[in-house]
Structure 1
């Protein structure tokens, strides 16, 4: 192996060590070229990276120079002295290896010199006092790891070789075997391959050396621990290790992972780390058992400074229903303990259902320090941080992860769905996005392709009578267990803090400063063939990490060092220290502002009744069992007073940045999947910032005060801005996503005539045609219909035809998605409304035809009194969204604008009669009395309604207003904070009442212009 290509496996620092002695006054500018390449690392961050590496810009400029012949000669001479290079020579030196041919030839054929070396080195390790019946687990793990590292390069190389010459063989499999034999069959050919991909050679060589060393450490640890294994687990001689399985975890610290093994019939887990924290946690559980009579399962383990051996915790079946109840009660206790002890990362793989006991099998992430991520002075960010530092941070409770992956969506999935990786429910689930997978393996058509996949279930669901139980019916027990621990902590704060300080001080824990998935993604990107040809390409890729928003970026260099070795970076912290410890035990001093034990003490001291209620809210929302509670709210004796008080409520609920430039609100909202959450409001019109702004915009027309000005300004700064270029909009709707600002922006432009507002609207819409996709919906709220109505408003106001063109483009979705429901928000009526508006704007008969067709389809669902709600398990209602208010709104619009039809008249009368005689519990617009009020106001002066009915409506409207003023409303609230949103909250009440004062305010039910 003498070719000079192997110098490209040298790092920039290694190159610099040699080149610096050959160049005194190097002038060519390589750094500018380096910085001009696409990267998240700005020049400022690049300079910071050089400072952290203790290298000057001039020296780095030399290190990355294009190598000439003299450079290569000098570097090659130095490279040959490197340990990995010499070991590679040794690994490929076994001539006998190339004479043997395996029965099956797959990608592992390319690694047989490395596997052979590993096997030989393992055989050299002498065993004392115990035997191993089968140690192939280490070899299997090595082969699987090498396939993962090299598969991108092998696929690329196969197809490159196909371009150069014709593969022999009648079948695709035969041609694959031909390629593998030709490329890897002889010593000369396999060396030639790795000379073309020198970084791959270095990486595989370094990794096999790690694995050999780890095997030796494992054997030594077993030997050293035999006396303790005998005493603690009653294991008697002769000792025999069997059933070794390697790789039950990520690779950290030079290839170290989890090893499962069997010793004399007992199963164990071996970890290459000190887990003293596990013993400390057991001690704390002992304390709780004595003080409050609880019973926990405590893992038996042997700890050492370099390793830990634990009993294997199996997914053991429960014997009775009572054991299931106890399991979930204890699960709730663990939620409280994990939160109060500042623990995280207890996801679905880290909890085992062991009979009546949930067992935390990876306890190393207790007593965690503060997040190292730098947070902007932004109220939205602060509210999000509050949410995700709650009980949700433990990962024990259901939550969505990986919501914004860049991979293609799986069939029928929508952006933002995410995956549930919590320990509460580890059942098998389909991934909402596709994964890059090898297809056509072991053929000459092998390639990577995005395919749908499922995530395997875990072992955290209790089993009864041979079947996994349904956790739904036991959620209340989780809450009870949570309450028990929280109440004990609240009543015994001083004692608890003293005990925690005594038990958990001065112990090393793992720190998760970045999600493992982010690291895994970077490692996967680093397998690109380009990165396997030149080490500088891997350095350039991992340079992107400098853009990550850490408060202290000193951890980035150790991260990159680990990634270059193909390890997931890992960090540690002594709970009584502010320092961070790297994978190779280097100290980053004063990484944190306070110690982890101080953080735990602060959390417990602040855990009062108010904080308990908030964490319980998070728990119940996550479990999907929280029931919103209605609280009475007096608004005022007059309409003016009531509206002003609502504005005051909104102002008091606002969170601002220091400059009061941006605004956010914490409130109840429904996610795309229909689940209720309590979160920072997004920009949405339906129940978000855009809806609040629309109300404040019209209120501010005739009501000025410092509060109103601050609200209006901060809302405008928060919602009227272009999204970042990297963001892709997957929601085409006037109520949700980035287009939800268009309706309030239309009214701002209409009232204030600022050209910048119209320009923003046009910029927002610039890429809408490209953003329409297979998941774009047709209905009013979740789809294009309301947005079409908004675009027609812009067209009517500005006479700019591109607004009309975009509206017509969006109408094509009506041909692609079948409408199957009745009603306005999600059914026929909403599309009818928008289609008739398009007909009026264009005169195109196809829109008129759709109106007639959908009227006929919707009326097939009329049962003589109301239109059926075709949703599963739903009854007919009178709401704006799914019932007679919305249907009547559409019929009224048709009749007012020339669609004179007896059936439509009859429909309207049926709707009006139903709405008059129906009263709701909810006060809001979408499902409540304000929606009823606004609809009847629209009908109030219609000639289609009899005089008697109009009188009845007038009386009813007056009565509704009087009732609000005299008695107030009952509205969903938490901790005396009512729901805010436009369509379901207090903003909608204010908007409706404001319409009684300001005649110019548009009807929100149909996004009036």
Structure 2
């Protein structure tokens, strides 16, 4: 294979569909090996990049292979050589996405190392470490944007840190607010060590740990109830099962970018909450708990649903990769939806249903404290003042919605033309807008389209006091900014409002999947 000769396929890469074609992208220009990493880490990161490129390209390349064999061709090497030459011409959209992803991935890894070296002394001081270096990286945490996503960094002394390529001031504010809650309730909800470097930051890693006694389980679910009340007051969103860690006797919210949110109330857009009939200003907004009356999916619930441990789904997978017999087939696959978000005791997952009174007592104690602290929460010395000027990530659509659209858009017919790709993407995204009102949100659709054209999940950022998104010309989009939303919630606090929330909680605690 003359075209492919410079690229030797490592044996560990042979299971990655169409790897020989994709190597021409992973080794285009600077490569991971240029970073001077240890061989094992270099191979691991290169494999991760190739897997991501394969996920994007496999539908189109399998379609091409099917056509190739249907025309009577029997030389797989000939197919590889042909596609390396023709892919950029026949599939310019796919070619762009692969190039952008490969370049962004390399920049992401380079940034982690450069920033770690620059911050080493501060990292050692904040996290009580000494003489450390990076020995491994897991880059598969969280949603990527511009090639950069949350990553788990393993250090030479066994310590693990979370690297976030975004402003993490919101985590510092959350820590301080939880400290205030702890003081008021004489509790000890867990907070995080944080090194805020403005445009990025380093955060203490939270280990999943089993509970060691029933006493710890009671404490765990008491704290879980308190945390639910905290998310209610703050207007939190997106606290799904991947954002909760059961760390011994502590339920821990590990992603704080959506811990405060603005309030959107424009009925010309069908939001997630509208679609699933989630009551506004309720404990159901955060997705920590669910109510079957709403129709929200049970497989993403932060605190889980008893008995709902795994789901069986249809998935498409390539078999016999990198051979002429490669096929994309549909099969049943099991996906775990309970793991680190539910405490484990004596080898079994223990759900809140078995500790209802402790959960409800925790929620009620926090709610009552907020209710009796209204004046303090509204005052100039309020702990909520800490959230001023924070950068917030806004959940315009749930991330899994974007992911499903990106999966659908991998078809060869979309990858062959920018016009076709953009038109279909616009059509899919605009369905959430009602009638002519979609034109009022053109800047949002344009932003989403431009990001997804790079294979990214769109991320919207705004200030905690902003009622608009960047790009909107400062046209008011939200009825309440993040801080106004919290203020409105403080005013709502009452015995009747509490009773409504307890009813939602009781309905969730009665749900059980057999």
TM-score, normalised relative to structure 1: 0.46
- Which residue does 1:564 correspond to in 2? 453
Change (3 A) 1:587 1:444: farther
Tell me the CA shift for residue 95 of structure 1: 7.4
- Which residue does 1:431 correspond to in 2? 311
Tell me the CA shift for residue 336 of structure 1: 0.7
- State the alpha-carbon separation in 2 of the partners of residues 122 and 391 from structure 1: 45
| Matches for 1:703-718 after TM superposition, within 5 Å | none
SS in 1 for 2:289: coil
- Which residue does 1:393 correspond to in 2? 285
Contact 1:97-1:113 at 8 Å conserved across structures? no
- Which residue does 1:509 correspond to in 2? 392
Tell me the CA shift for residue 123 of structure 1: 3.8
- State the alpha-carbon separation in 2 of the partners of residues 160 and 200 from structure 1: 18
* 2:221 paired with 1:221: no
Contact 2:409-2:421 at 8 Å conserved across structures? yes
Contact 1:399-1:421 at 8 Å conserved across structures? no
Change (3 A) 1:298 1:189: closer
Specify which of 207, 211, 231 is matched with residue 105 of structure 2. 211
Q: Which moved more, 1:452-461 or 1:297-306?
A: 452-461
- State the alpha-carbon separation in 1 of the partners of residues 20 and 419 from structure 2: 28
- State the alpha-carbon separation in 2 of the partners of residues 466 and 581 from structure 1: 48
Change (3 A) 1:214 1:489: same
- Which residue does 1:546 correspond to in 2? 430
- State the alpha-carbon separation in 1 of the partners of residues 55 and 276 from structure 2: 36
Change (3 A) 1:386 1:235: closer
Contact 2:239-2:287 at 8 Å conserved across structures? yes
| Matches for 1:909-948 after TM superposition, within 5 Å | none
- State the alpha-carbon separation in 1 of the partners of residues 46 and 40 from structure 2: 14
C-alpha offsets along residues 517-558 of structure 1, whole Å, 9 cap, x if unaligned?
221122112111011211111111112123322775131110
C-alpha offsets along residues 180-211 of structure 1, whole Å, 9 cap, x if unaligned?
x2222x4x662134433232222211221111
- Which residue does 1:141 correspond to in 2? 48
C-alpha offsets along residues 769-820 of structure 1, whole Å, 9 cap, x if unaligned?
xxxxxxxxxxxxxxxxxxxxxxxxxxxxxxxxxxxxxxxxxxxxxxxxxxxx
SS in 1 for 2:149: coil
Contact 2:88-2:95 at 8 Å conserved across structures? yes
How many pairs are equivalent?
Answer: 498
SS in 2 for 1:484: helix
Tell me the CA shift for residue 357 of structure 1: 0.5
* 2:218 paired with 1:309: no
- Which residue does 2:31 correspond to in 1? 121
Please, what is the CA RMSD of the aligned residues?
3.1
Change (3 A) 1:587 1:569: farther
- Which residue does 1:48 correspond to in 2? none
Contact 2:195-2:203 at 8 Å conserved across structures? yes
- Which residue does 1:358 correspond to in 2? 251
Change (3 A) 1:430 1:315: closer
Tell me the CA shift for residue 232 of structure 1: 1.4
| Matches for 1:43-62 after TM superposition, within 5 Å | none
- State the alpha-carbon separation in 1 of the partners of residues 482 and 448 from structure 2: 21
* 2:61 paired with 1:154: yes
- Which residue does 1:183 correspond to in 2? 79
* 2:154 paired with 1:262: yes
- State the alpha-carbon separation in 1 of the partners of residues 342 and 513 from structure 2: 24
- State the alpha-carbon separation in 2 of the partners of residues 389 and 317 from structure 1: 33
* 2:89 paired with 1:198: no
- State the alpha-carbon separation in 2 of the partners of residues 435 and 574 from structure 1: 39
- State the alpha-carbon separation in 2 of the partners of residues 609 and 489 from structure 1: 12
- Which residue does 2:505 correspond to in 1? 619
- Which residue does 1:475 correspond to in 2? 356
Whose relative contact order is higher, 1 or 2, with alpha carbons under 8 Å and at least 6 apart?
A: 2
| Matches for 1:261-280 after TM superposition, within 5 Å | 261-264=153-156, 265-280=158-173
Tell me the CA shift for residue 299 of structure 1: 1.4
C-alpha offsets along residues 251-286 of structure 1, whole Å, 9 cap, x if unaligned?
22x121221121121011111111111110110111
C-alpha offsets along residues 363-416 of structure 1, whole Å, 9 cap, x if unaligned?
111221113652599xxx98974636521111111356996xxxxxxxxxxxxx
- Which residue does 1:231 correspond to in 2? 125
- Which residue does 1:23 correspond to in 2? none
- State the alpha-carbon separation in 1 of the partners of residues 119 and 311 from structure 2: 42
Tell me the CA shift for residue 111 of structure 1: 0.7
- State the alpha-carbon separation in 1 of the partners of residues 151 and 275 from structure 2: 41
Tell me the CA shift for residue 116 of structure 1: 2.5
- State the alpha-carbon separation in 2 of the partners of residues 399 and 464 from structure 1: 26
Contact 1:269-1:311 at 8 Å conserved across structures? yes
- Which residue does 1:421 correspond to in 2? 300
SS in 1 for 2:239: coil
- Which residue does 1:918 correspond to in 2? none
* 2:174 paired with 1:281: yes
* 2:454 paired with 1:454: no
SS in 2 for 1:97: coil
Change (3 A) 1:418 1:513: closer
- State the alpha-carbon separation in 1 of the partners of residues 322 and 506 from structure 2: 50
- State the alpha-carbon separation in 1 of the partners of residues 120 and 10 from structure 2: 38
- State the alpha-carbon separation in 2 of the partners of residues 383 and 515 from structure 1: 12
TM-score, normalised relative to structure 2: 0.88
Contact 1:373-1:549 at 8 Å conserved across structures? no
Tell me the CA shift for residue 347 of structure 1: 0.7
- State the alpha-carbon separation in 1 of the partners of residues 457 and 163 from structure 2: 18
Contact 1:221-1:307 at 8 Å conserved across structures? no
- Which residue does 1:247 correspond to in 2? 140
- Which residue does 1:163 correspond to in 2? 70
Change (3 A) 1:125 1:435: closer
Change (3 A) 1:438 1:259: same
- State the alpha-carbon separation in 1 of the partners of residues 275 and 431 from structure 2: 23
Specify which of 407, 412, 415 is matched with residue 529 of structure 1. 412
- State the alpha-carbon separation in 2 of the partners of residues 241 and 133 from structure 1: 13
Change (3 A) 1:157 1:132: closer
Change (3 A) 1:474 1:101: closer
Contact 2:257-2:392 at 8 Å conserved across structures? yes
- Which residue does 1:34 correspond to in 2? none
Contact 2:108-2:147 at 8 Å conserved across structures? yes
Change (3 A) 1:560 1:400: farther
- State the alpha-carbon separation in 1 of the partners of residues 19 and 494 from structure 2: 59
- Which residue does 1:897 correspond to in 2? none
- Which residue does 1:580 correspond to in 2? 469
Contact 1:510-1:572 at 8 Å conserved across structures? yes
SS in 1 for 2:241: coil
